[in-house]
Structure 1
């Protein structure tokens, strides 16, 4: 059940990010100077930490989505759904460590 809840939450978070991303990118056509100023406001540590949250949400949502498809469309999916959840969490952790490290490096040291 918690994987279902987390899947829904990460889907909504990803949707809201994409919504804001489309809006701020659309500004480049309306007023390029305003777009540049908004992009500059994103270059701070708080947004860097939010990027880690975004990567975590998108990665979990994608990996769990594959698991959900396997449970739904593979005849043995329901039998292995718990094992697949642990695989998803393991892969998520293995990919998140270097991803978060890179984002933290870029945020705090890699200007």
Structure 2
């Protein structure tokens, strides 16, 4: 279920991204205003959520491929899920500063 949800969330992000990028052809001033709103702490948290969704979707997709194409995949499905979760947590901890660092500096000053 989480794999489907993250897939839908990533799709909606890509849809909005294409729309806001296309806005530069219609009105560069409006595009600049939209991009300025992306530099807020709230959007930084949403970006971190996007990173979380993409990482989980990618890692879990590899697990699904292994279950489908590896003869022992079904037997080790639960182990692979826990491995995916562990790798995901480590990668999310590593992504915390690069993604949220500028938002923390803006909120707390630096």
| Structure 1 length-normalised TM | 0.91
Structure 2: unaligned runs, 5 residues or longer = none
**Alignment partner, residue 53 of structure 1:** 49
Instruction: Report the equivalent of 2:13.
Output: 17
- Residue matched to 1:100: 96
Task: Give 1:66 shift.
Answer: 0.4
The count of aligned residue pairs is 107
Aligned to 1:42: 38
After TM superposition, where is structure 1 displaced by more than 4 Å over at least 4 residues in a row? none
**Is 1:81 aligned to residue 77 of structure 2?**
yes
Distance 1:31 1:40 in 2: 14
Q: Which residues in structure 2 correspond to 1:58-69 (within 5 Å)?
A: 58-69=54-65
- Report how far residue 21 of structure 1 moved: 0.4
**Shift in Å at residue 40 of structure 1?**
0.2
Q: Which of 21, 24, 31 is residue 27 of structure 2 equivalent to?
A: 31
CA-atom RMSD, angstroms?
Answer: 1.4
